[in-house]
Structure 1
């Protein structure tokens, strides 16, 4: 039987503090982000079930996993597996990971229980088709991640990733409206694809929010673009309990056909925002100020 996935968005990083901080490459967690990890550790109800922890190789996701699941990492002797397919989607500096050689040095120097064996040298080169920020490339990577997870023997897996790519992994685009903010509250009794507030622009996931998914019994043979794919899409659906936990009054997620509509709406907004970001001129001074803020904070250690 395929595993149950408990997907988690990373805690607050320095890039979450302001748009200007998006010039930081692979930023760390803020002190408040570390507090969020401690709160997640205290409130996550499935610690006893978790048999495997997987994280994006970016530092904010690695440290979110290490902090949030510190107890079971120690008690069960678990190692966080870094999976490059679940890295964040864009190619802006804050969503671009560190070079593998630097990650290895950090892991070895601090003795972190992190397995980097699945991370290739070019994992952070987003000029390549394989790791491109192109939505179709991200769609392929997300499907490969689901296929890898579905084939695992463990029964419960924690997946620590990012607000953007978690929509691709889950294929749940309800309420996402990526990079579009409205103060209009969506109806709780329908599937309106509107954002309830400007609190989490760019994603429908809050920092350290977790949702639980089961693999579906159906073998979908197309993606959300309606393109035919080779093999099983390894589709997942959020559980009714998980939806209830985050305030959804409709137990079942929207149908796959509705998700296709939501996806295309979201991607249109995504591409517009990406173009605006590329057109923006970040000065050297802005980058230096952002780096100064982050460097004043100690590098997190595993608890």
Structure 2
């Protein structure tokens, strides 16, 4: 089995990032600065020639970040897979995606929306802003990416770009370091980090990830991760802050049953 590397990217600045009032904007676009951030990421990202797959949350800001930050990959024919499991955590208008037909008209053949089915943006059941639901779909996303990375030539290394959201990335990577209760994330706009599966044999039912030593050294100066206890404490603090801010809601019994 070839090695699978996942390059996680937080989207560029959107209009909802400018002020709290803009959280009412539905599925907002990138700001002018956000577009510039994509250009900078494209210029600085060192692995363009190695990328085999592009995957993104179906929200407009993540799709545009992927298209603008990885233009060479798009130009050589890589179609972006829109994966609804990667959508942001809250049910605010800014974190609620547009209807599939609207997105298909806007993005055309650059994006494959086959996995975006009716109800993906209703923020109920498995799509709800409850911690258990977010955790479950983050696991589903990792499993999908592991299957994607192991498809085709089994001996071929796969390098997958995943463009998603700051709050969600903590669940996806299971890394809560740097999380800030006021911004909702420890990831900067267009920040990228590289990960590989803890179990390269594909037997881990959780499909947990670990940051590569090169990635961690690049951003924090060393490769030593936090302990499990430290991660649990950080997650507890982050989720409490999100609930206070309205970004996350407790699941009711009906929601739990649907997960």
Q: TM-score range by the shorter chain?
A: 0.7 to 0.9
Larger-gyration structure (1/2) = 1
* Structure 2 residue 207 is matched with structure 1 residue 234: yes
TM-score, normalised by the number of residues in structure 2: 0.88
Partner of 1:285: none
Q: CA deviation at 1:275?
A: 7.3
Structure 1 Cα separation of the partners of residues 81 and 73 of structure 2 = 14
Cα-to-partner distance string for 1:51-86 (whole Å, 9 max, x where unaligned): 0000000000000000000112112x1000000000
Partner of 1:137: 133
Runs in 1 of length 4+ with deviation above 6 angstroms?
none
Structure 2 Cα separation of the partners of residues 257 and 98 of structure 1 = 38
1:88 partner SS: coil
Structure 1 Cα separation of the partners of residues 192 and 15 of structure 2 = 20
Structure 1 Cα separation of the partners of residues 192 and 222 of structure 2 = 18
1:271 partner SS: helix
Q: CA deviation at 1:218?
A: 8.4
1:48 partner SS: helix
1:243 partner SS: helix
Q: Number of paired residues?
A: 241
Q: CA deviation at 1:217?
A: 2.5
Q: 1:215 aligns with which of 197, 219, 231?
A: 197
Structure 2 Cα separation of the partners of residues 232 and 103 of structure 1 = 32
TM-score, normalised by the number of residues in structure 1: 0.75
2:50 partner SS: coil
- Is the CA contact 1:239–1:252 (under 8 Å) kept in the aligned structure 2? no
Structure 2 Cα separation of the partners of residues 218 and 49 of structure 1 = 19
Partner of 2:146: 150
Partner of 1:301: none
Structure 1 Cα separation of the partners of residues 99 and 158 of structure 2 = 32
- Is the CA contact 2:53–2:80 (under 8 Å) kept in the aligned structure 1? yes
Partner of 1:254: 226
Structure 2 Cα separation of the partners of residues 4 and 178 of structure 1 = 29
Structure 1 Cα separation of the partners of residues 214 and 54 of structure 2 = 21
Structure 1 pair 257–78 and aligned structure 2 pair: CA distance change class (3 A)? same
1:151 partner SS: helix
Structure possessing the higher relative contact order (Cα contacts under 8 Å, 6 or more residues apart): 2
Cα-to-partner distance string for 1:207-227 (whole Å, 9 max, x where unaligned): 0000000110389x9xxxxxx
Structure 1 Cα separation of the partners of residues 200 and 36 of structure 2 = 40
Q: 2:111 aligns with which of 114, 118, 130?
A: 114
2:47 partner SS: coil
Q: Which has the higher helix share?
A: 2
Q: 2:120 aligns with which of 112, 123, 129?
A: 123
